[in-house]
Amino acid sequence: MFEALIEGIVNLSSPHSLMLLAAGSVVGLLFGAIPGLGGTTAVALLIPLTFGMEPWQAIILMGGVMAATSTGGSISAILLNTPGIAPNAATTFDGYPLAQQGKAGMAIGAGATASALGGVIGVISLVAVIPIMKAIVLLFTPPEFFMLAIFGLCAIAVSSGDRLLQGLITAIIGLMVGFVGYYDVTSTVRYDFGIPLLEDGIKLVPALIGLFAISEMINLAVKGGSISESASDVEISRISDGVKSVFKNWSTMVVGSGYGTFIGAVPGVGGTVAAFLSYSTQAQRDPTPDIEYGKGNIKGVIAPESANNAKDGGSLIPTLAFGIPGSAETAVFLGVLVLHGIEPGQKLLEDHQDLVFTLVVALTVSAVFATLVVLGLAKYMALLTRISVHMLIPTVTVIALVGAFALNTEIGDVVIAFIFAFIGYFMIRFNYPRVTFTIAIVLGSITELSFHQSMLISDDDMSIFYTRGLSIFLLFLTILSLAFPTFRRKMKERKLAKEEAEQ
Amino acid sequence: MRIPEHRRPSAYYILIILAVVILFIVTSYQYKITDRMFPLMVGYVAVPLLLLDLLALTDSKIGEKISVFFSAKTPKEVDEDADPTKRTLGQELLIFLWMGALVLGIYLIGFLPCTPVFVYCWMKYRGGYSVKESAYLAIGTIVFVYVLFELILQYELYPGIFLYWYG
């Protein structure tokens, strides 16, 4: 493991690698700061640039993007009350009031430092888990893989806010998309409807480019206006006070990072839930604060920011160990790995530990680098959020389509990207989660393969899924995740009844 | 039991998905049992879920119960939380036409001529920018695409079907 870590550091130490990392971090910061774009769009758009790269170079570039996105998102959350990406939403509660009180610099300093430290803690947790990851993966045979995929899909569906039904439907449609094309278990081409383009299946990269990058542009075009109307002429000073406040409130940062790592490791739950939970826990831990939460308490910035960056390390645990993405961003990142011939799971952990550690080092360095950039250039980054959508839409759309084409230099891929752009737009329009859809597409083939292998092992006896220890545990987790919305509703009803009784 | 006017677009969307799922199920039966077993299971789970989703849109007691069971919100609360952006069909069709024209343009004349034309037209006619500003961004975008993809990454960008026919 130590050798792999050294190799990871060596991979990152060349000037070319550092340039890639810096470029990835800057793109991540910019896409994170501009509301409506986000890290998934950035990773999807950059995929074509990695085609000619070595796998470790592609990993460095993507690691840079992933680690920097939520740091960038905190700028618009604090200055404009508009989170750059969803996980920064909890930062607005105290970040924006601080900005209104003339303490924007302090909030940005605290947010950026908490992000960096949270990111580093998340990555350290990932490193700590790597040695036992191999042993855990070996416990999984096809029935367990099948149940894990089903649990992952249900957890992701449940995590899509208050739309469980839509989440489940989207997961199923995503699985169906994953069935299209050549099925190597039986050497049959299925659901291609005689269209040659579909014979090899829906190509993941053009589909993701359409689903995230172009669909967002269509949505922006329909909505119109500028990305943010708010003025951002805020005085940014006292950044160092913010940096110091994180060290002063180190326990808030550590607890937030713990939430981020732990929740990030649950497929699909992601940074938003981690940030909100971290924020509410902080508010509960501190019942008599000096400054009320929601009115500019600096701990209300530190808690969510440390959580949403720590989740990067956590969400890579299921991605690298089982090929089950922890978030949309890691789903697209998984596409990058597959594109470069890297198969997640036991093989990756045994044969390509150097790549895993290259990613670990890239995430760590990028988290720190992005923070330094934010601390230095916060004022100018805030201006980005005022870019007119009419400048963004044509340029991003064209570059995305060129990227979709560049994968196989096939014009059919442009059509795939175009079709998925519309699917993505309608999912935004009718509030169906694209994250669930994406992860289901990725999981489609793994799920079916594990199902078939399980049927072969058991001689077509379905009881194999609920008679083995680990399978039963995963089945229990699946039921628990599906029951979660009902449990939450009951809690809400009870709380309301209690409040009414008190009145 | 009826679906209120403002929820009808969602209902049409569900019906389209339902049609796709039914097509998927029907198509599955032309494959061998091994090939269709898992996809069919998935397809058959989708149908009741979609019907429940459709029922949840109705202004009936059962609709409310389904909505509350799956989302902890009544249909009314879901409406209140919906994206407030007003989207008209005409507005959406116009954007789809722009995007469709871009893809058709790429198919016919290729990326290099199509990119600056699309960026310029969008900036000028949708964004209301001046000729100069639109031209600057159009030139900037095509230079970026050409330098990055053709020169640095050495991809041969699609030249368009016309060039294939006549070239």
| B55 in reach of chain A (CB within 8 A) | no
Task: Calculate mean pLDDT across residues A220-231.
Answer: 64
Q: Which of B22, B49, B81 is the last residue of a domain?
A: B81
The alpha carbons of chain A give a radius of gyration, in whole angstroms, of 22
The B residues from 60 to 99 touching A (CB cutoff 8 Å) are 66, 68-73, 78, 81-83, 85, 87, 91-92, 95-96, 98-99
Q: Are residues A221 and B95, on separate chains, in Cβ contact within 8 Å? A: yes
Q: Is the pLDDT of residue A270 over 70?
A: no
Blockwise average pLDDT, block size 10, chain B, 167 residues: 83 94 95 91 94 89 81 65 72 92 94 94 92 94 88 82 72
Q: What is the token pair recorded at A183? A: 């099925």
Task: Calculate mean pLDDT across residues A343-363.
Answer: 80
* Tens digits of residue pLDDT in A366-412: 888 888 888 888 767 666 666 778 888 899 899 889 888 877 788 89
The A residues from 261 to 300 touching B (CB cutoff 8 Å) are none
Query: What count of other Cβ atoms lies within 10 Å of the Cβ of residue A260?
Result: 37
* Tens digits of residue pLDDT in A162-171: 678 888 999 9
Q: Is B94 found in the same domain as B75?
A: no
- What is the span of the domain harbouring residue B43? 5-81
Consecutive H or E run containing A181 = strand A181-183
Residues of B within 8 A of A223 (CB-CB) are 85, 87
The A residues from 451 to 480 touching B (CB cutoff 8 Å) are 451-452, 455
Across A8-22, A28-42, A58-72, B89-103, least confident range: A28-42
Supply the pLDDT for residue B46.
Answer: 94
Q: Is B94 found in the same domain as B77?
A: no
Q: What does pLDDT average to over chain A?
A: 82
Supply the pLDDT for residue B75.
Answer: 62
Residues of A within 8 A of B129 (CB-CB) are 390
Distance CA A239, CA A470 (A): 49
Q: Is B34 found in the same domain as B9?
A: yes
* DSSP H helical ranges for A407-468: 411-429, 434-458
Q: Is the pLDDT of residue A227 over 80?
A: no
CA distance A503 to chain B (A): 23
Q: Is B159 found in the same domain as B143?
A: yes
Q: Is B104 found in the same domain as B65?
A: no
Highest mean pLDDT among A99-103, A280-284, B81-85, B93-97: B93-97
| A154 in reach of chain B (CB within 8 A) | no
For residue A300, which of A316, A313, A312, A289 has the smallest C-alpha distance? A289
| A182 in reach of chain B (CB within 8 A) | no
Nearest CB among A172, A188, A406 relative to B45 is that of: A172
Q: Give which of A53, A402, A454 to mutate to test B binding, by max B Cβ within 10 Å.
A: A402
Residues of A within 8 A of B69 (CB-CB) are 486, 489
Q: What is the ipTM of this complex?
A: 0.91
* Tens digits of residue pLDDT in A144-202: 888 888 888 887 777 666 678 888 999 999 999 999 998 888 888 999 888 888 888 88
Q: Is B137 found in the same domain as B117?
A: yes
pLDDT confidence tier of residue A231, bands split at 50, 70 and 90: very low
- Per the model's pLDDT, the better-predicted residue between A97 and B29 turns out to be B29
Phi, psi of A119 (to 5 degrees): -60, -45
Q: Which of B34, B60, B81 is the last residue of a domain?
A: B81
Q: Is B100 found in the same domain as B49?
A: no
**Locate tokens 């050798």: which residue?**
A3
| B123 in reach of chain A (CB within 8 A) | yes
| B49 in reach of chain A (CB within 8 A) | yes
Task: Calculate mean pLDDT across residues A9-33.
Answer: 86
Residues of B within 8 A of A48 (CB-CB) are 149, 153
Q: Is B93 found in the same domain as B28?
A: no
Please report, in angstroms and rounded to a whole number, the separation of the first and last CA atoms in chain A. 61
* DSSP H helical ranges for A47-188: 55-80, 92-100, 104-138, 142-159, 164-179
Q: How far is residue A129 from each of residues A123, A318, A343, B141, measured CA to CA in Å? A: 10, 11, 19, 44
Q: Is B156 found in the same domain as B94?
A: yes
Q: Is B62 found in the same domain as B38?
A: yes
- Tally of CA atoms within 13 A in the half-sphere of A180 that contains its CB: 23
Number of domains in chain B: 2
Q: Which of B48, B81, B114 is the last residue of a domain?
A: B81
Q: Is B45 found in the same domain as B100?
A: no
Distance CA A88, CA A78 (A): 9
